[in-house]
Chain A
Amino acid sequence: MEFKDNIPIYLQIEQYLYRQIALGELKAGEKIPSVRKLALELTVNVNTVQRALQQMNDKGILYTKRGEGNFVTENTELLEETKQALINNELETFVQNMNRLGVEKDQLIPELEQYLNSEDEK
């Protein structure tokens, strides 16, 4: 996994784990890999992983079982919210990019519909 060097890495690790959860790679109630394993997998500092996990703990996405590690919350509502946040994120990027290409807000939906239809015809 490649990180952008101009955004705090712990934030990127958080995003990475959210994505894993949203994609179902990590399921509700499942134990996530150990800090050191994650650090090695992502080639980052253990402290950085810890900071990311701490933030996720604070938000309630993860919970810690003493001596066992970190687990994904079973609160489906929270997981839905997280997924929604990811979707919003993607949409925000999409809208911004379209804007730069001169596609105004009211033009977005027709453009998208046209594109989806043409995709279906293929």
Chain B
Amino acid sequence: MTELLTISNLSYKKNQKQILHDVNLQLDSGKIVALLGENGAGKTTLMRIIAGVAKNYKGQVSLEGEEKEVQRKAKLSFTDNLTGFSDSTKIKDVVEFYINIFTDFDENQFEELRKFMKLDPEMKLSQLSRGMKEKLIIALTFSRKADLYLLDEPFSGIDAMARKRIINSIILWKEDQATILISDHFVNEISALLDEVVVVKDHTILEHKTADEIREGHESIEEYYEGLYADEEDE
């Protein structure tokens, strides 16, 4: 296994509020990793920093040894909510943007994913349900040939069928050496899929374990995760 992502001594403040503090994380290539934590724990911020769209942080983030944002952006694929497009944009126009802009975008793979997700290219963004939009975002994100995929809460607010499709697409289309980091505040739906679990709490990474390590202690990932947050529920 080769080292893919290394984050050291990362701190980030916004509006004079500490959002991340002294974060250290190392991910190897070829893994499926969950980034767990409550809403507002800093998961999205961490992903935004890795992806090079959040600024002004202290510490180092390197992806395959590259610290420059441009290089990182070229090597990773981050789920984007497509807010840069107007609501009347058709799916096929969004795809054209991706084809033109991202040199690693694989049009054929997108076609396969699009069919798998049952998306109509003529549909406008405004016509998509939450689940369909999430499926489109996943299809676009996976159609890039990246080393690191950052999926920010891909399962929030979508139905079981859509979730199943997305999970299956992860299994089917993930390249062996690619790593996927999936953030969620709920672990059940993806626990069978995971190699590793990273828990964010109190503005930092509390623990980073392999799924097997957790289960060998006869604990489910859910129990483990809830255990780490248990003290707060007592308050």
Which residues from A are CB-within-8-Å of B174?
46
Does A26 have its Cβ within 8 Å of any Cβ on chain B? no
Q: Please determine whether B191 and A43 come into contact, CB atoms closer than 8 angstroms.
A: no
Interface range on chain B: under 10, 10 to 19, 20 to 34, or 35 or more? 20 to 34
**What's the Cα separation between A117 and B88 when bound, in Å?**
73
Q: Please determine whether A39 and B218 come into contact, CB atoms closer than 8 angstroms.
A: no
* Least CB distance, B168 to chain A, in whole angstroms: 6
**What's the Cα separation between A42 and B212 when bound, in Å?**
17
Does A5 have its Cβ within 8 Å of any Cβ on chain B? yes
* Least CB distance, A52 to chain B, in whole angstroms: 11
Which residues from A are CB-within-8-Å of B128?
none
Which residues from B are CB-within-8-Å of A8?
211-212, 215-216
Tally of chain A residues near chain B (CB < 8 A): 18
* Least CB distance, B27 to chain A, in whole angstroms: 14
**What's the Cα separation between A5 and B197 when bound, in Å?**
14
* Least CB distance, B160 to chain A, in whole angstroms: 12
* Least CB distance, A119 to chain B, in whole angstroms: 35
**What's the Cα separation between A45 and B191 when bound, in Å?**
10
Q: Please determine whether B195 and A5 come into contact, CB atoms closer than 8 angstroms.
A: no
Closest to B219 in A: A6
**What's the Cα separation between A62 and B220 when bound, in Å?**
29
Q: Please determine whether B192 and A9 come into contact, CB atoms closer than 8 angstroms.
A: yes
Q: Please determine whether B171 and A45 come into contact, CB atoms closer than 8 angstroms.
A: yes
Q: Please determine whether A45 and B193 come into contact, CB atoms closer than 8 angstroms.
A: yes
Does B46 have its Cβ within 8 Å of any Cβ on chain A? no
A residues within 8 Å of B by Cβ? Answer: 3-10, 36, 39-40, 42-48
Rank and list the top 4 A-B pairs by shortest CB-CB distance, nearest first: A5-B220, A6-B220, A8-B215, A8-B212
B residues within 8 Å of A by Cβ? Answer: 30-32, 164, 167-168, 171-172, 174, 176, 188, 191-195, 211-212, 215-216, 218-223
10 contacts across the A-B interface (CB closer than 8 A): A5-B222, A6-B215, A8-B211, A8-B215, A9-B192, A36-B172, A43-B168, A44-B171, A45-B193, A46-B176
